Amino acid sequence: MKEPFKVAAVQMVSAPSVEANLAAADELVAEATGQGAKLVVLPEWFCFMGRAERDKLAIREADGDGPIQSFLARVAAKRRAWVIAGTVPLPADDPAKVRNSSLVYDDAGRRVARYDKIHLFDFTGEDERHKESNTIEPGAVPVAIDSPFGRVALSICYDVRFPELYRRLAPMDLITVPSAFTATTGAAHWDVLVRARAVENLAWVIAPAQGGHHPNGRRTHGHTMVVDPWGKVVASLAHGPGVVVAEIDPSYQARARASLPALTHRVL
Protein backbone atom coordinates (compact mmCIF):
# COMPACT_ATOMS: atom_id res chain seq x y z
CA MET A 1 0.00 0.00 0.00
CA LYS A 2 1.91 3.06 -1.25
CA GLU A 3 -0.84 5.60 -0.74
CA PRO A 4 -1.34 7.16 2.71
CA PHE A 5 -3.62 5.21 5.03
CA LYS A 6 -4.94 5.58 8.56
CA VAL A 7 -4.10 3.45 11.58
CA ALA A 8 -5.58 3.45 15.06
CA ALA A 9 -4.20 2.62 18.48
CA VAL A 10 -6.84 1.81 21.08
CA GLN A 11 -6.43 2.68 24.76
CA MET A 12 -8.44 0.79 27.38
CA VAL A 13 -8.80 0.38 31.14
CA SER A 14 -9.65 -3.31 31.14
CA ALA A 15 -11.48 -5.03 33.98
CA PRO A 16 -12.04 -8.62 35.22
CA SER A 17 -15.08 -9.15 32.96
CA VAL A 18 -14.19 -10.51 29.52
CA GLU A 19 -17.69 -9.73 28.26
CA ALA A 20 -17.48 -6.08 29.35
CA ASN A 21 -13.99 -5.70 27.87
CA LEU A 22 -15.05 -7.13 24.52
CA ALA A 23 -18.05 -4.79 24.42
CA ALA A 24 -15.77 -1.84 25.13
CA ALA A 25 -13.29 -2.97 22.48
CA ASP A 26 -16.10 -3.36 19.95
CA GLU A 27 -17.16 0.25 20.45
CA LEU A 28 -13.59 1.53 20.23
CA VAL A 29 -12.83 -0.41 17.04
CA ALA A 30 -16.04 1.00 15.55
CA GLU A 31 -14.91 4.50 16.53
CA ALA A 32 -11.50 3.92 14.95
CA THR A 33 -12.83 2.58 11.66
CA GLY A 34 -15.44 5.33 11.64
CA GLN A 35 -12.50 7.73 11.45
CA GLY A 36 -11.09 5.82 8.50
CA ALA A 37 -8.58 3.48 10.17
CA LYS A 38 -7.72 0.42 8.08
CA LEU A 39 -5.44 -1.09 10.75
CA VAL A 40 -6.51 -1.11 14.41
CA VAL A 41 -4.24 -2.25 17.26
CA LEU A 42 -5.63 -3.14 20.69
CA PRO A 43 -3.57 -2.96 23.92
CA GLU A 44 -2.02 -5.81 25.85
CA TRP A 45 -4.65 -7.69 27.90
CA PHE A 46 -7.45 -5.75 26.20
CA CYS A 47 -9.72 -8.69 27.01
CA PHE A 48 -8.97 -9.18 30.70
CA MET A 49 -7.27 -7.67 33.72
CA GLY A 50 -7.99 -10.09 36.57
CA ARG A 51 -7.99 -9.37 40.27
CA ALA A 52 -5.15 -11.84 40.76
CA GLU A 53 -2.36 -12.87 38.40
CA ARG A 54 -3.55 -16.47 38.16
CA ASP A 55 -7.06 -15.44 37.10
CA LYS A 56 -5.92 -15.38 33.47
CA LEU A 57 -5.56 -19.17 33.54
CA ALA A 58 -9.34 -19.52 33.83
CA ILE A 59 -10.02 -17.65 30.59
CA ARG A 60 -7.28 -19.12 28.36
CA GLU A 61 -8.54 -20.36 25.03
CA ALA A 62 -7.50 -23.17 22.75
CA ASP A 63 -5.44 -21.86 19.87
CA GLY A 64 -7.91 -20.91 17.14
CA ASP A 65 -11.07 -21.35 19.20
CA GLY A 66 -12.88 -19.43 21.92
CA PRO A 67 -15.06 -16.38 22.53
CA ILE A 68 -12.20 -13.87 22.48
CA GLN A 69 -10.77 -15.14 19.20
CA SER A 70 -14.26 -15.43 17.68
CA PHE A 71 -14.91 -11.82 18.67
CA LEU A 72 -11.71 -10.65 17.01
CA ALA A 73 -12.46 -12.45 13.75
CA ARG A 74 -16.00 -11.13 13.75
CA VAL A 75 -15.12 -7.50 14.47
CA ALA A 76 -12.34 -7.45 11.85
CA ALA A 77 -14.72 -8.76 9.21
CA LYS A 78 -17.58 -6.51 10.31
CA ARG A 79 -15.47 -3.36 10.28
CA ARG A 80 -13.47 -4.39 7.18
CA ALA A 81 -10.21 -3.58 8.94
CA TRP A 82 -7.07 -5.44 9.96
CA VAL A 83 -7.05 -5.93 13.73
CA ILE A 84 -4.02 -6.72 15.87
CA ALA A 85 -5.24 -7.96 19.20
CA GLY A 86 -3.00 -6.76 21.95
CA THR A 87 -2.86 -10.11 23.67
CA VAL A 88 -4.96 -13.22 24.25
CA PRO A 89 -4.12 -15.98 26.78
CA LEU A 90 -3.45 -19.24 24.92
CA PRO A 91 -2.27 -22.63 26.24
CA ALA A 92 1.35 -23.12 27.26
CA ASP A 93 3.44 -26.25 27.47
CA ASP A 94 3.29 -25.77 31.24
CA PRO A 95 -0.37 -26.25 32.23
CA ALA A 96 0.09 -23.82 35.12
CA LYS A 97 0.89 -20.99 32.70
CA VAL A 98 -0.38 -19.32 29.51
CA ARG A 99 1.22 -17.85 26.41
CA ASN A 100 0.64 -14.11 26.09
CA SER A 101 -0.16 -13.97 22.38
CA SER A 102 -0.67 -11.12 19.92
CA LEU A 103 -3.00 -12.22 17.13
CA VAL A 104 -3.44 -10.58 13.73
CA TYR A 105 -6.68 -10.74 11.71
CA ASP A 106 -7.14 -9.44 8.19
CA ASP A 107 -10.15 -7.45 6.98
CA ALA A 108 -12.03 -10.65 6.11
CA GLY A 109 -11.67 -11.92 9.68
CA ARG A 110 -9.00 -14.53 8.90
CA ARG A 111 -6.20 -14.98 11.40
CA VAL A 112 -2.90 -14.42 9.61
CA ALA A 113 -0.31 -14.33 12.40
CA ARG A 114 0.44 -15.13 16.03
CA TYR A 115 3.30 -13.81 18.15
CA ASP A 116 3.98 -15.05 21.70
CA LYS A 117 5.59 -12.49 24.00
CA ILE A 118 9.27 -13.34 24.37
CA HIS A 119 10.47 -11.01 27.14
CA LEU A 120 8.67 -11.31 30.49
CA PHE A 121 8.42 -8.38 32.87
CA ASP A 122 9.93 -8.49 36.37
CA PHE A 123 9.88 -5.39 38.57
CA THR A 124 10.18 -4.72 42.27
CA GLY A 125 9.34 -1.22 43.41
CA GLU A 126 8.65 0.39 46.77
CA ASP A 127 4.99 -0.62 46.80
CA GLU A 128 4.64 -3.09 43.92
CA ARG A 129 6.08 -6.29 42.58
CA HIS A 130 5.50 -7.93 39.20
CA LYS A 131 6.80 -11.26 37.94
CA GLU A 132 5.14 -12.34 34.71
CA SER A 133 7.09 -15.58 34.55
CA ASN A 134 4.98 -16.90 37.45
CA THR A 135 1.99 -17.29 35.12
CA ILE A 136 3.29 -16.73 31.58
CA GLU A 137 5.48 -18.99 29.47
CA PRO A 138 7.76 -17.02 27.11
CA GLY A 139 7.68 -17.38 23.35
CA ALA A 140 10.88 -17.91 21.40
CA VAL A 141 10.22 -16.85 17.81
CA PRO A 142 10.27 -13.22 16.58
CA VAL A 143 7.48 -12.50 14.09
CA ALA A 144 7.04 -9.97 11.28
CA ILE A 145 4.42 -10.19 8.56
CA ASP A 146 3.87 -8.78 5.11
CA SER A 147 0.58 -6.91 4.86
CA PRO A 148 -1.16 -4.31 2.68
CA PHE A 149 0.45 -1.73 4.99
CA GLY A 150 3.99 -2.99 4.49
CA ARG A 151 6.11 -5.22 6.70
CA VAL A 152 4.82 -5.21 10.28
CA ALA A 153 7.01 -6.28 13.22
CA LEU A 154 5.03 -7.65 16.17
CA SER A 155 6.05 -7.09 19.77
CA ILE A 156 4.42 -6.77 23.20
CA CYS A 157 5.03 -4.32 26.04
CA TYR A 158 8.30 -5.31 27.81
CA ASP A 159 9.75 -6.37 24.45
CA VAL A 160 10.22 -2.67 23.68
CA ARG A 161 13.23 -2.61 26.04
CA PHE A 162 15.14 -5.04 23.82
CA PRO A 163 16.27 -3.41 20.55
CA GLU A 164 17.90 -6.63 19.35
CA LEU A 165 14.43 -8.11 18.82
CA TYR A 166 13.65 -5.46 16.22
CA ARG A 167 17.06 -5.77 14.61
CA ARG A 168 16.27 -9.44 14.02
CA LEU A 169 13.16 -8.36 12.13
CA ALA A 170 14.53 -5.33 10.26
CA PRO A 171 13.82 -3.72 7.95
CA MET A 172 10.16 -3.16 8.76
CA ASP A 173 7.69 -0.43 7.91
CA LEU A 174 5.57 -0.60 11.06
CA ILE A 175 6.18 -1.81 14.60
CA THR A 176 3.30 -2.63 16.93
CA VAL A 177 3.80 -2.50 20.71
CA PRO A 178 0.51 -3.29 22.51
CA SER A 179 1.28 -2.62 26.16
CA ALA A 180 0.17 -2.42 29.78
CA PHE A 181 3.09 -0.48 31.26
CA THR A 182 2.85 0.18 34.97
CA ALA A 183 2.37 3.78 36.05
CA THR A 184 5.83 3.70 37.65
CA THR A 185 7.90 2.35 34.77
CA GLY A 186 5.75 4.09 32.19
CA ALA A 187 6.32 7.54 33.63
CA ALA A 188 10.07 6.90 33.62
CA HIS A 189 10.64 5.10 30.33
CA TRP A 190 7.62 4.65 28.02
CA ASP A 191 8.03 7.71 25.83
CA VAL A 192 11.77 7.38 25.33
CA LEU A 193 11.62 3.64 24.59
CA VAL A 194 8.83 3.88 22.01
CA ARG A 195 10.45 6.84 20.26
CA ALA A 196 13.86 5.16 20.29
CA ARG A 197 12.50 2.08 18.51
CA ALA A 198 11.04 4.37 15.84
CA VAL A 199 14.26 6.35 15.36
CA GLU A 200 16.69 3.43 15.24
CA ASN A 201 14.55 1.48 12.78
CA LEU A 202 13.28 4.52 10.82
CA ALA A 203 9.85 2.91 11.22
CA TRP A 204 6.38 3.93 12.30
CA VAL A 205 5.50 2.66 15.79
CA ILE A 206 1.91 2.02 16.86
CA ALA A 207 1.83 1.73 20.65
CA PRO A 208 -1.60 1.21 22.22
CA ALA A 209 -1.71 0.96 26.00
CA GLN A 210 -3.76 0.29 29.06
CA GLY A 211 -4.25 3.66 30.70
CA GLY A 212 -5.90 4.18 34.04
CA HIS A 213 -6.87 2.75 37.42
CA HIS A 214 -8.12 -0.83 37.14
CA PRO A 215 -10.59 -2.63 39.43
CA ASN A 216 -7.75 -4.89 40.63
CA GLY A 217 -5.97 -1.84 42.04
CA ARG A 218 -3.31 -1.68 39.35
CA ARG A 219 -2.50 1.66 37.72
CA THR A 220 -1.29 1.64 34.14
CA HIS A 221 0.55 4.46 32.42
CA GLY A 222 -1.47 4.96 29.26
CA HIS A 223 -0.06 7.54 26.84
CA THR A 224 -1.04 5.54 23.78
CA MET A 225 0.80 6.96 20.79
CA VAL A 226 1.73 6.71 17.14
CA VAL A 227 5.31 7.76 16.38
CA ASP A 228 6.74 8.55 12.95
CA PRO A 229 10.10 7.29 11.59
CA TRP A 230 11.81 10.51 12.70
CA GLY A 231 10.73 9.94 16.31
CA LYS A 232 7.93 12.49 16.38
CA VAL A 233 4.77 11.63 18.32
CA VAL A 234 2.07 12.38 15.76
CA ALA A 235 -0.93 11.38 17.89
CA SER A 236 -1.39 10.46 21.55
CA LEU A 237 -3.86 9.96 24.38
CA ALA A 238 -2.75 10.33 28.01
CA HIS A 239 -5.35 8.51 30.08
CA GLY A 240 -8.69 6.75 29.91
CA PRO A 241 -10.40 4.74 27.17
CA GLY A 242 -10.20 6.15 23.67
CA VAL A 243 -8.77 5.96 20.19
CA VAL A 244 -5.72 7.55 18.61
CA VAL A 245 -5.90 7.79 14.81
CA ALA A 246 -2.98 8.82 12.60
CA GLU A 247 -2.27 8.94 8.89
CA ILE A 248 0.69 6.89 7.71
CA ASP A 249 2.44 8.20 4.61
CA PRO A 250 4.83 5.56 3.20
CA SER A 251 6.56 8.19 1.08
CA TYR A 252 7.56 10.08 4.24
CA GLN A 253 9.34 6.99 5.52
CA ALA A 254 11.07 6.53 2.17
CA ARG A 255 12.31 10.12 2.25
CA ALA A 256 13.54 9.73 5.84
CA ARG A 257 15.49 6.59 4.96
CA ALA A 258 16.96 8.21 1.88
CA SER A 259 18.12 11.29 3.77
CA LEU A 260 19.54 9.26 6.68
CA PRO A 261 20.46 5.78 5.36
CA ALA A 262 21.43 4.47 8.81
CA LEU A 263 19.95 1.03 8.16
CA THR A 264 22.46 0.52 5.33
CA HIS A 265 25.34 1.56 7.59
CA ARG A 266 24.94 -1.29 10.07
CA VAL A 267 28.12 -3.30 10.52
CA LEU A 268 27.19 -5.50 13.51
Known catalytic residues are 44, 117, 157
User: What length is written for the chain?
Assistant: 268
CA pair distance 158, 214, nearest whole angstrom: 19
Are 18 and 251 within 8 A, CB to CB?
Answer: no
Q: Count CB-CB contacts under 10 A for residue 199.
A: 19
Q: Count CB-CB contacts under 10 A for residue 261.
A: 10
Are 195 and 30 within 8 A, CB to CB?
Answer: no
Dihedrals φ, ψ of 67, to 5°? -65, -35
Q: Is 122 strand, coil or helix?
A: strand
Dihedrals φ, ψ of 88, to 5°? -130, 135
Closest CA to 50 of 217, 221, 216: 216
CA pair distance 218, 43, nearest whole angstrom: 15
